[in-house]
Chains A and B, each alone.
Chain A
């Protein structure tokens, strides 16, 4: 199980503002980095899977970047909306199949 850290633990953002947060993971023996969006009482929903250094993925107003050499990934939310309020989880996948999760960043968008 890998040591994956997310920061900040929580953040509040005004509707319409953009925000970003970080996931750091061990850079050795790296296979893939996963981002999930998890709303209360629902199933975690897969956002992105990234494998290559420099990967950038985008889904609507949400995007993510990956730096495998230094072991970090950023998730960006552009023009935050109340429906973006959720906990965002990252998980690193090493040489085996297992996912090691961070504790998540809880985003609250204020109208």
Chain B
């Protein structure tokens, strides 16, 4: 299978700061990348879908101005949590795919804790 990395694996930040999470496809070109969030004991929930070179599509209830997504190349997408608050503390995980309907390959996730 294809390899997707995510960085950092965990981050602790103060309330009000911004945090950037990187998602990289290491051995294939990912036209589409997905960002998910998982709260404790809940399922992975899709936050947004990004296509290389275009604006991300956000799921209902996800604030696009708070969760900035950039998919500037076929191997890199970034998620920036702006002005993070304790309620943003969660597990964020990305996946990458060759196209919208193709198999998704997941990164290992990022644990965000906002104090």
B13-21, B38-46, B81-89 - the one binding chain A: B38-46
Interface size class of A (residues with CB under 8 A): 20 to 34
What is the distance, in angstroms, from A33's C-beta to the closest C-beta of chain B? 13
Q: Say yes or no: A41 contacts B1, CB within 8 Å.
A: no
Cβ-defined contact, A103 with B41, below 8 A: yes
Q: Is the interface of A mostly helix, strand, loop or mixed?
A: loop
Residues of B within 8 A of A89 (CB): 43-44
Contact A102 B1, beta carbon cutoff 8 Å: no
Chain B residues with CB under 8 Å of A36's CB are 106
Q: A44 to B106, Cβ gap below 8 A?
A: yes
B104 on the A face (CB < 8 A): yes
Give the interface size class of chain B.
Answer: 20 to 34
Most buried by B among A1, A89, A97, A101: A97
A1 touches B46 (CB 8 A): yes
Contact A43 B43 (CB under 8 A): no
**A3 CB, min distance to chain B CBs, angstroms:** 10
Task: Please name 27 pairs of A and B residues whose Cβ atoms are closer than 8 Å in the assembled complex, sorted by A.
Answer: A1-B45, A1-B59, A41-B9, A43-B4, A43-B105, A43-B106, A43-B107, A43-B109, A44-B106, A45-B1, A46-B1, A46-B105, A89-B43, A89-B44, A97-B49, A98-B46, A99-B44, A99-B104, A100-B43, A100-B46, A101-B36, A101-B43, A101-B44, A101-B45, A102-B43, A103-B41, A103-B43
Listed in ascending order, the chain B residues whose CB lies under 8 Å from chain A are 1, 4, 9, 34, 36, 41-46, 49, 59, 93, 100-101, 103-109
Sorted from nearest, which 7 A-B pairs have the closest CB atoms?
A101-B44, A101-B43, A103-B43, A44-B106, A97-B100, A43-B106, A43-B108
16 more A-B contacts (CB under 8 A) besides A44-B93, A97-B101, A99-B44? Answer: A1-B46, A41-B9, A41-B108, A43-B4, A46-B103, A46-B105, A97-B49, A98-B46, A98-B49, A99-B46, A101-B36, A101-B44, A102-B43, A103-B41, A103-B42, A104-B43
